[in-house]
Amino acid sequence: DSGVTQTPKHLITATGQRVTLRCSPRSGDLSVYWYQQSLDQGLQFLIQYYNGEERAKGNILERFSAQQFPDLHSELNLSSLELGDSALYFCASSPGLLDEQFFGPGTRLTVL
Amino acid sequence: AQSVAQPEDQVNVAEGNPLTVKCTYSVSGNPYLFWYVQYPNRGLQFLLKYITGDNLVKGSYGFEAEFNKSQTSFHLKKPSALVSDSALYFCAVRDMFRINDMRFGAGTRLTVKP
């Protein structure tokens, strides 16, 4: 158990809908990262927050957004969902900016 | 931008034999290198990292990795493989000039046969 929690574990929704994925980092970790893992794209970095501020953006679509709250938990919002958005979404946390990341168990999103 | 390649999709070894999972990288500055393992239906678990110092890095579960700057490689090794080592292994790299952006390789599936 990494200490990173993600909810929900599974999410099934329809095209065009909007969902919110939630992540609680390990106690004391200030950095939160979001990744998408799919069979054809592999593990893709989406976005990083550090102590409430956005620090880096990867291959994140404009339909997706995220934020980190004062208590350091983070939410990833996915809107206008498409079939291709079906994937595993991982959250990871680390104490700072250079440290190794600790991954949550992931949220499996299925868009029908 | 930094990138990392894992040239083998699949590696098969017999239990008790040494294993190597290959990784090469490309960065502008000095690399920060990581290995992670993913078991079925689980998140990634950190194995080891190279930031600076000794080129041979020891990590969890008996794994080690050798940083080779001239060959831009960071291969993962273990002297004696276990069946329980069977999993998906990811190499990752950060570039000192783009420190917030970690790039992962496509992953190598390791199968250890009894």
pLDDT score, position B99: 67
Q: Does B63 touch chain A (CB under 8 A)?
A: no
CB-based contacts of B30: which residues, under 8 Å, 6+ apart?
B52, B96
Does A102 sit within 8 Å of B107, measured CB to CB?
A: no
B24-51: b (≥16 Cβ within 10 Å) or e: bbebeeebbbbbbbbeeeebbbbbbbbb
Residues A34-55 have a mean pLDDT of: 90
Rounded to 5°, the CA angle A65-A69-A23 comes to 70
Q: Stretch A71-96: mean pLDDT, rounded? A: 95
Average pLDDT, chain A: 93
Partner B, chain A 36-95, Cβ-Cβ below 8 Å: 42-43, 45, 48, 50, 55-56, 58, 90, 92
Out of B43, B99, B104, the one facing A97 most closely (by C-beta) is: B99
Is pLDDT larger for residue B30 or for residue A66? A66
Which of B46, B47, B57 is most worth mutating to test chain A (most A CB atoms within 10 A of its CB)?
Answer: B46
Record: contact B90-A104, CB cut-off 8 A = no
- Sorting pLDDT into bands at 50, 70 and 90, what band is A2? confident
Q: Is B18 exposed, middle or buried (0-12, 13-18, 19+ CB in 10 A)?
A: exposed
Give the pLDDT confidence score for residue B100 in this predicted structure: 67
Q: Residues with Cβ < 8 Å from B85, sequence gap 6 or more? A: B19, B61, B78, B110, B112
Which pLDDT belongs to residue B27?
87
A4 close contact with B: CB closer than 8 A: yes
pLDDT < 50: residue spans in chain B: none
- Given a contact cutoff of 8 angstroms between Cβ atoms, the answer to whether B13 and B113 are in contact is yes
Query: How far away is chain B from the Cα of A17, in angstroms, using its nearest Cα?
Result: 25
Q: Which residues of A touch B99 (CB under 8 A)?
A: 97-98
Give the alpha-carbon dihedral of A99, B43, A17, A71, to 10 degrees. -40
Per the CB < 8 Å rule, is A92 touching B103?
A: no
Residue B112 tokens read as: 């250890």
% residues pLDDT > 70 (chain A): 100
Q: What pLDDT score does A99 carry?
A: 83
Asked if the C-beta of A104 comes within 8 angstroms of chain B's C-beta atoms, the answer is yes
Candidates B44, B50, B57, B95, partner chain A, best to mutate (most A CBs within 10 A):
B44
Q: Is B31 on the interface with A (CB under 8 A)?
A: no
pLDDT tier, A102 (very low <50, low <70, confident <90, very high otherwise): very high
